[in-house]
Structure 1
Amino acid sequence: MEKRKNDGSSFDEEGLLYSLLDLLVAGTDTSANVMCWTLLIMVTYPDVQAKCYSELCLMLDSKADELCYEDRSKLPYIQAVQHEVLRFKEAVSLALRSVSQEVTLLGYTIPKDTRIMVNIESALHDESQWKHPHEFNPSNFLNDKGEFLKPDAFIPFSAGLRICLGENLARMELFLFFISLLKNFEFIWPESSNAPDLTPVFGTVNTPRPFEVRMRKRLT
């Protein structure tokens, strides 16, 4: 702030506070919530879990060291699954924004300083943008060759200049946590429980309903 105070910068202590809050929320509550959704979806779709583990094993066999975040480009199916979790069960459905100058959108004039809501859920389930908009299907992020691709409609971290400050941190955490758990455990739905319920509890962050999951230690 001191270095940029003569450059017309608007970054101040209040902005710093909100930036740190974004990082904290992205690194704790939201990321933990996405991991819960990931585990629930793994036990709901065991075939997807098995395919993720097979891809991970092939990668582990080719590396002497532990996997790192940079290895994600060599794991297209796992990348597709993680992105599909974020699309299918978005953590946040709406984002509040303020228009910095008067704009015209689809024939409507939006005055300066108007508060608007970004409908994230609508974009993530748009039938014109996704191959399977209303079901969990990792092929939404795979091309015909099985390569990972990310459509423009994928905006789980919001949109515009004020996109979530913690996006990169959250992506790294989710990838490393998931492959570490997947490498060591198989996720199993308890036989005594009812069928998995994917109905979210809506709130500031959309959470799964309370559930239990068995974790069986992998032998290899």
Structure 2
Amino acid sequence: MVFVLTELFLAGSDTTANTLEWALLLMMVYPEIQARCYEEIRLTQNGTEKLRYEDRHRMPYTMAVIYEIQRFKVIVPLSVPHGTVKDVSFHGYIIPKGTRVYFDLYSVHRDESQWKFPHEFNPHNFLNDNEEFVKPDAFMPFSAGPRVCMGESLAHMEIFLFFTTLLKHYEFFWPEKHIKPDLTERFGITQSPIPYRVGIRHRDV
């Protein structure tokens, strides 16, 4: 129990923070997407009313943006190592018991057969023709299989509440007028953005 709780706090804090770092950077790069999210948040809310996780059902575009951030910039592109507990036959190949297995989540999130816009940041990867939020089966930033990340539901809630609360109260803009935003990944245990500056304006909510 101690080990599980420690993992939730340590691993969950780093991945959630990296997701929000990418979120702010992408909102500065795509101000029109940020503006549409803010408008949806504003219309869903009643002024000073606090955002709740249940509000996500009335924010299809914002939900699509949050999921697209996680698809476009996979925080843990190779997931965490798994292992076979017995010999496994997979597409004609035998994977022996005890083999270490990695999921290439990056390639899944760029699969041209699964996504409408696999190589660009576009929330419509998660919207149908009626502008309703949909989650394709190929979306798996929290890994796959029976040992998917145990903190997935917690992460969804945290990211939604942090992201929408930040956009509700602040406008984020790119302050470096003569420097182009850099979306290059900085690789490590997790995939984070190169450090960047943020311009912030307080909104009159």
Alignment of 1:92-171 (within 5 A): 92-95=76-79, 96-171=81-156
Report how far residue 100 of structure 1 moved. 1.5
Equivalents in 2 of 1:193, 1:187: separation in Å?
17
In structure 2, the partner of 1:194 is: 179
The number of residue pairs the alignment matches comes to 204
Q: Using the TM superposition, give the Cα deviation of residue 25 of structure 1 relative to its aligned residue in structure 2, in angstroms.
A: 2.9
RMSD between aligned residues: 1.4
TM-score by length of structure 1 reads 0.89
Residues 4-31 of structure 1: per-residue CA shift (max 9 Å, x gap): xxxxxxxxxxxx3442233113431110
> Which residue of structure 1 aligns with residue 42 of structure 2?
57
CA distance, structure 2, for counterparts of residue 48 and residue 117 of structure 1: 33
1:86 corresponds to:
70
Q: Distance in 2 between matches of 1:216 and 1:64?
A: 18
Residue identity opposite 1:188 in structure 2: F
State the alpha-carbon separation in 1 of the partners of residues 104 and 76 from structure 2: 10
Preserved contact between residue 103 and residue 111 of structure 1 (Cα < 8 Å): yes
Q: Which residue of 162, 170, 190 maps to 1:205?
A: 190
Identity of aligned residues (%): 51
* Structure 1: distance between partners of 2:177 and 2:33: 22
For 1:89, the aligned partner's letter is: K
Alignment pair present for 1:76 and 2:76: no
Q: Is contact 2:176–2:197 with CA below 8 Å preserved after alignment?
A: no
Q: Which amino acid aligns with 2:195?
A: P
- Find the aligned partners of 2:2 and 2:94 in 1 and give their Cα distance: 33
CA distance in 2, matches of 1:170, 1:76: 18
In 2, distance between residues paired with 1:65 and 1:124? 35
Q: Which has the larger radius of gyration?
A: 1
Question: Which residue in the other structure is 1:35 paired with?
Answer: 20
CA contact (8 A) 1:69 1:172 kept: yes
Q: For residue 216 of structure 1, what is the aligned residue in structure 2?
A: 201
Structure 1 position 58, deviation (Å): 0.8
- In structure 1, what residue type is equivalent to 2:69? V
Contact 2:45 2:51 in 1 (8 A): yes
Q: CA deviation at 1:165?
A: 1.1
> Which residue is equivalent to 1:66?
50
Q: Cα gap change, 1:60/1:122 in structure 2, threshold over 3 Å: closer, same or farther?
A: same
State whether residues 22 and 165 of structure 1, in contact with CA within 8 Å, keep that contact through their aligned partners in structure 2: no
1:174 alignment partner in structure 2: 159
SS in 1 for 2:112: coil
Structure 1 unpaired stretches of 5+: 1-15
Structure 2-normalised TM-score? 0.95
